[in-house]
Homo-oligomer: A and B are copies of this chain.
Amino acid sequence: MINAQEELEDLFLKGNQDYLANISVDNVIFGYHDKELKVLLLRNPNFGSWMLPGGYIKKTEDVEKAATRVAHQRTGLDHLFLQQFKVFSTPGRNRDPHITPEVLSQLTGLKIDENHWMFQPIVSIGFYTLTEFSKAKINGSFFAEVAQWWDINTLPPLLFDHTQIILEALKALRLHIYHYPVGYELLPEKFTLPEIRALYETVLGTKIDDRNFTRKLLSLGIIKNTNELKNVAGHRPPYLYTFNKEVYSMALKDGVSIF
């Protein structure tokens, strides 16, 4: 937990003054490591269910900055790949029988009633973030102090519409990697071809045609052979590859067809 007191005061006391009303960000932080794709969830025992990391938007910042702040506070990492994907706005979406004025008053030590701005309708801007989960130092928030990685195939019950938000984020990520490279934040600086293929197969949740995939990444110039061999036991050690940062960045800006 970082800066609990600061978060508390920002949120409940100065919220309607410093932050935009009726709007928040939720950040689906995906963590990849060795063929596993996970999502970072938080929990407050008072609320019963798990929830996504999220936050409000300062009047002096854009939504990307708010989502970046959330990702940094929860993982300790900077320069994460972050993508806006969908807005969630069904009326009543941010009401839950466990989150009452009484519960919030008890939790904060402040007097909070039905008219508090947190009980107004809130439209949430959905972002997803990609990280390597072994690199992250995860933190809960004042609002939900337990933080845990969950495999995307075995999610627990979630608050509000957060299950839907995660499913939509996964759909957007899968569409995204057809047109833009991913991996720079998720693989070691030098990696083998089976390692990058495993990353794509894990994200897509499906097998891919190895030869076409490798050929395309090489012919686009997104990855290149370092001509170094990986130091592994066995008689045919694999070559190590690396991203060509310049081509990678351009592809991220303009889009490509990976498949």
A residues with a Cβ closer than 8 A to B are 20-23, 57, 59-64, 84, 86-87, 89-91, 121, 123, 125, 175, 178-179, 255
- A63 and B87: CB pair below 8 A? yes
A102 to B153, CA, bound (A): 57
- Give 6 CB contacts A-B under 8 Å: A20-B21, A20-B23, A20-B121, A21-B21, A23-B23, A59-B91
Distance from A55 Cβ to chain B, minimum over Cβ atoms (Å): 14
CB closest residue in chain B, given A59: B121
Q: Which of B20, B62, B86, B175 contacts A255 (CB 8 A)?
A: B175
Contacts of A59 in B (CB 8 A): 91, 121
Contacts of A86 in B (CB 8 A): 84
A125 to B84, CA, bound (A): 12
Distance from A169 Cβ to chain B, minimum over Cβ atoms (Å): 14
Distance from A144 Cβ to chain B, minimum over Cβ atoms (Å): 24
A53 to B6, CA, bound (A): 40
Q: Which of B63, B123, B178 contacts A63 (CB 8 A)?
A: B123
- B123 and A23: CB pair below 8 A? yes
A175 to B83, CA, bound (A): 15
- A62 and B90: CB pair below 8 A? yes
CB closest residue in chain B, given A16: B21
A86 to B127, CA, bound (A): 11
Distance from A167 Cβ to chain B, minimum over Cβ atoms (Å): 13
- A89 and B63: CB pair below 8 A? yes
CB closest residue in chain B, given A176: B175
A97 to B84, CA, bound (A): 30
- A123 and B175: CB pair below 8 A? no
